Amino acid sequence: MSDLWLTVLIVLYVATAFFVILRLHLYGVRPSKTLGWLLAIFTIPVGGVLLFLILGRNRRKNKLYELQNDFFANFESIDISLDELKEHHYQKIIQLIDRDGDFPMTRYNKATLLKDGKETFTNIFKALESAKEYIHLQYYIFEEGELAEKLLVLFEQKIKEGVTIRLLYDGIGSFSLSNKYKKKLANIGVEAHSFLPFQFGRFLSSVNYRNHRKIIVIDNQIGFTGGLNISDKYLKQDATLPIWHDMHLRMEGEAVAYLDRVFILDWYLTTKEKITLENNVPSSIGIKKEMQIQIAQSGPDDDFALMEQVYFAMINEAEKYVYIINPYLIPNHALLQSLQTAALSGVDVRLLMSSNTDMKLVDWCVRAYFESYGKAGIRIFLYPKEFLHSKVVVCDDQISSIGTANLDDRSLHQNYEVNAIIYDELFAKELKAHFLEDCAKAIEVDIEKHNNRPWTAKLIEGFAKLFSPLL
């Protein structure tokens, strides 16, 4: 009997491996990546196939979710003609986001840059207290602590006032959220759901695809997005890392409705319930000054990797400077080449990263690219104090991006992300000033000294670099 079962298992494995190899040839996007998976399958018995099933499937071909084309048909949108965009310096980027994600540029908005936990959460709680109809919240990390307890008190009060509260949290990022806390949310009337929760039956198909978005929308009037999660790490140091240093964005105006549509879409993907709101119309009430903002959202189900395309386009269109803040800067070949090309053509390219990281493997992988940056004249700064967690790009005093997407394969191809693209000179200059202020506190990497580091460090970084598509 044991021999029979062994034969059956071998046959099943061979059939599965053959099926995986067939799919790689049919749906593999990059030959180098396809070859890597083929080598893994042939050299790692059983493990190679399992790794592919968890990490390697092409979600742009094998979607987690399918949506009807008319999902947002009942929502009023802003129409901007091609003639109106002809004179816009960033016409191509605007059209890219609109065509790829169906999120047009909005004209009348107000945006406030928020730095670090104290300023951000003070603004968030003040806005939440003003809610009259509904509050939508979505976070990758929602951790219990002082912030979470304070939110419970506020939620309970707002629900008594008749406010509807919907909360989404990622099943893996918020894995530590206890059943006790979830019951408290349910008891006071918060509609809370986990996005792709950890379930054995769906483990292989979903564990590698996470919702990394951070969104708050209040009454279609005020919206927040950026790098900050709901965690006490932004208010006090924990046992492993210093306090987190991050940037967030508060918005009012037409763009808020489009940020809300990202939440509504994710709510539907999670609950199969389509939220119908009477006031989900792009509104600019009370805003007289023009400030152009466009919401860009991307995920593994989309036909194109929109955030990768947006970052790529911003870097390529830069004429004077490209300043990037990101803790997980692990560029793929296209982004690395665009950064190098910009620097070699005379654009001032500077990268600000954290000298402290929450994962050693990521730290090694990030540093593995320093030599490539240095050869092209790209300047690298390491922030030495807090753990720098911002996701910011600013170019030429004209265009900025702030949101949730890192510059790594995980954010650009495997996670659900959202960024605000801001076409505004004053905001870009403010963001640049904060960047230069943080660079002044940082330590610039001496490339010659870095290139002479011990061979053991180079070996470790080279090994870590192999995992860059997974990080």
Could you tell me the mean pLDDT of each successive run of 10 residues in the chain, 471 residues long?
62 63 58 55 59 56 56 69 75 92 91 96 98 97 96 97 97 92 97 81 60 96 96 85 92 95 93 83 81 94 90 97 95 94 98 85 89 96 92 98 94 93 97 97 93 87 72 57
Q: Are residues 169 and 35 in the same domain?
A: no
**DSSP run (H or E) holding 159:** helix 146-160
CA distance 266 to 357: 29
Q: Which of 391, 408, 424, 438 is catalytic?
A: 391
CA distance 336 to 351: 12
Q: Are residues 115 and 30 in the same domain?
A: no
Domain that holds residue 13: 2-56
Q: Are residues 355 and 447 in the same domain?
A: yes
Q: Are residues 208 and 247 in the same domain?
A: yes
Main-chain phi, psi angles of 416, to 5 degrees: -85, 125
pLDDT for 87 equals 78
How many CB atoms neighbour CB 349 within 10 A?
A: 26
How many CB atoms neighbour CB 314 within 10 A?
A: 23
pLDDT for 133 equals 95
Q: Are residues 161 and 248 in the same domain?
A: yes
**CA 299, 225, 62: angle at the middle one, nearest 5?**
5
Q: Are residues 261 and 239 in the same domain?
A: yes
pLDDT for 262 equals 95
CA distance 352 to 307: 19
Q: Give 294's strand partners.
A: 421
Pairing state between β 247-253 and 109-115:
antiparallel
3-state secondary structure of 470: helix
**DSSP run (H or E) holding 254:** none
Q: Are residues 391 and 270 in the same domain?
A: no
Report if residue 208 sits inside a domain: yes
Report if residue 100 sits inside a domain: no
Whether the Cβ atoms of residue 373 and residue 339 lie closer than 8 Å to each other: yes
List the CATH number of the domain containing 208: 3.30.870.10
Q: Which of 98, 266, 363, 396 is catalytic?
A: 396
Report if residue 76 sits inside a domain: no
Q: Which of 219, 266, 363, 408 is catalytic?
A: 219
The torsion region of residue 346 among left (phi > 0), alpha (psi -120 to 50) and beta comes to left
Biggest CA–CA distance in the chain, Å, is: 80
Q: Are residues 290 and 335 in the same domain?
A: no
| DSSP summary character for residue 207 | T
| DSSP summary character for residue 413 | I
Q: Which of 136, 158, 212, 245 is catalytic?
A: 212
Alpha carbon of residue 65 to chain centroid: 19
End-to-end Cα, the chain, rounded Å: 43
Active-site residue 396, yes or no?
Answer: yes
pTM for the model stands at 0.87
Report if residue 226 sits inside a domain: yes
pLDDT for 192 equals 97
Domain boundary among 242, 262, 295: 295
Q: Are residues 320 and 428 in the same domain?
A: yes
Q: Which of 136, 158, 248, 389 is catalytic?
A: 389
Whether the Cβ atoms of residue 399 and residue 405 lie closer than 8 Å to each other: no
Q: How far is CA 294 from CA 62, 107, 255, 362, in A?
A: 28, 9, 7, 30
Angle formed by the axes of helices 306-317 and 91-101, to 10°?
Answer: 180
pLDDT for 57 equals 56
**CA 307, 311, 316: angle at the middle one, nearest 5?**
145
Q: Are residues 408 and 358 in the same domain?
A: yes
Whether the Cβ atoms of residue 190 and residue 169 lie closer than 8 Å to each other: no
Active-site residue 389, yes or no?
Answer: yes
Q: Are residues 317 and 418 in the same domain?
A: yes
Domain count across the chain: 3
Q: How far is CA 374 from CA 104, 328, 350, 351, in A?
A: 37, 18, 11, 11
Report if residue 230 sits inside a domain: yes
Report if residue 84 sits inside a domain: no
Report if residue 420 sits inside a domain: yes
Neighbouring C-alpha atoms within 13 Å toward the C-beta of 357: 16
**Which amino acid, residue 382?**
L
Q: Are residues 117 and 256 in the same domain?
A: yes
Report if residue 267 sits inside a domain: yes
